[in-house]
């Protein structure tokens, strides 16, 4: 195995998973929001997480940190031992619903693949990063790591075999993501879901999924807007997000195409058809939370065709 570099720094983007009606299968990559991951070769064979800036409370143990777990899965498949130091600069806050753990694990395996002679394809990297997701949440999800690695708008069509589809989407589609700084545990949010749902609701949901994918492929913003309704999960999970309804109303009144939960929350996001509208919508959503003394962080971005990337 050829080692091209002794150290590398990568940008590991934030991602929005679920995407309205696309619960558990759709996700997209933000262009200008994300973490940095640094890998540095060291003597020996250990993988050591030496720094987690911005979220020092995350585990440093290499069998628990999502980045080192993902790296270990990759090295194991290569049959290679390598000493590595991992530094994580977290801008995407854990628990925000913007794919924080995916950002770390995707960034780590992307970085290692670039350090080596690119032995793996993106689909393999997704597979390794999923091991990190598993360490973080007991579920080897791909809906955040796939867009974090591959960029764009992704569909996890199947896990067995793993089948990730890159969807077409309009270049002008903007996302406004607002993170209200309240605590919502993904595991709590998941426990609220029923294991059985009505067939009629499921049909409504997949009709919307079909509409969304068609709207994205045809740049039909109105169809995207009509289709971005989750009738199954959001009515339940939105209860956990304070002022959700008020913020939704504010966003739609400013021309947002949609307003939904990002991941399992508490972050929320809107699609818009221009940057101008996106900035208006961002302001309107922020104002709602501010009125209620909830601090926010917010972002406006197109959907980035590129996922993780090397920083010089």
CB of 158 to its own copies, least distance (A): 7
One of 55, 78, 165, 182 touching its own copies (CB under 8 A): 165
Q: Under the criterion CB under 8 A, does residue 209 sit at the interface with its own copies?
A: yes
One of 64, 118, 139, 157 touching its own copies (CB under 8 A): 157
CB nearer to its own copies: pick between 121 and 210: 210
One of 42, 137, 181, 204 touching its own copies (CB under 8 A): 204
Stretch that binds its own copies, among 22-30, 260-268, 287-295, 304-312 (CB under 8 A): 22-30
One of 107, 147, 211, 307 touching its own copies (CB under 8 A): 211
Checking 65-69 for CB contacts under 8 A at 24+ apart, the result is 65/104, 65/135, 66/101, 66/104, 66/105, 66/108, 66/132, 66/133, 66/135, 66/136, 67/37, 67/104, 67/105, 67/107, 67/108, 67/132, 68/108, 69/105, 69/131, 69/132, 69/134, 69/135
The 51-70 contact track toward its own copies, x by CB under 8 A, reads --------------------
- CA dist 280 and 287 (Å) reads 11
CB nearer to its own copies: pick between 31 and 211: 211
CB nearer to its own copies: pick between 3 and 210: 210
Asked whether the bond before 270 is cis by omega within 30 degrees of 0, the reply is no
SS3 296: strand
- CA dist 55 and 121 (Å) reads 30
Q: Under the criterion CB under 8 A, does residue 21 sit at the interface with its own copies?
A: yes
């Amino acid at each position: 195995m050829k080692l091209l570099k002794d150290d590398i720094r990568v940008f590991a983007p934030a991602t929005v998973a679920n995407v309205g009606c696309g619960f558990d299968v759709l996700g997209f990559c933000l262009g200008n929001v994300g973490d940095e991951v640094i890998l540095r070769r060291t003597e020996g064979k250990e993988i050591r997480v030496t720094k987690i800036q911005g979220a020092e409370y995350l585990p440093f143990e290499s069998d628990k940190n999502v980045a080192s777990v993902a790296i270990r899965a990759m090295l194991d498949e290569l049959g290679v031992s390598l000493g590595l130091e991992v530094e994580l600069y977290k801008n995407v806050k854990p628990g925000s619903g913007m794919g924080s753990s995916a950002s770390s694990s995707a960034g780590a395996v992307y970085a290692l693949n670039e350090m080596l002679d690119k032995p793996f394809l993106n689909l393999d990297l997704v597979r390794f990063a999923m091991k990190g997701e598993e360490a973080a949440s007991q579920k080897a999800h791909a809906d955040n790591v796939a867009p974090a690695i591959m960029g764009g708008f992704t569909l996890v069509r199947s896990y067995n075999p793993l089948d990730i589809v890159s969807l077409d989407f309009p270049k002008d589609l903007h996302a406004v993501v607002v993170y209200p700084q309240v605590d919502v545990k993904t595991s709590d949010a998941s426990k609220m879901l029923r294991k059985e749902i009505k067939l009629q609701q499921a049909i409504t949901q997949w009709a919307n999924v079909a509409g969304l994918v068609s709207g994205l492929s045809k740049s039909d913003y109105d169809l995207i807007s009509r289709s971005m309704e989750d009738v199954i999960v959001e009515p339940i999970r939105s209860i956990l997000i304070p002022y959700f309804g008020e913020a939704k109303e504010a966003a739609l009144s400013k021309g947002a195409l949609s307003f939904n939960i990002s991941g399992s929350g508490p972050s929320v996001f809107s699609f818009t058809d221009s940057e101008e509208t996106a900035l208006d919508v961002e302001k309107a959503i922020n104002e709602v939370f501010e009125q209620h003394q909830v601090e926010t962080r917010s972002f406006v971005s197109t959907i980035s065709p590129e996922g993780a990337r090397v920083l010089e």
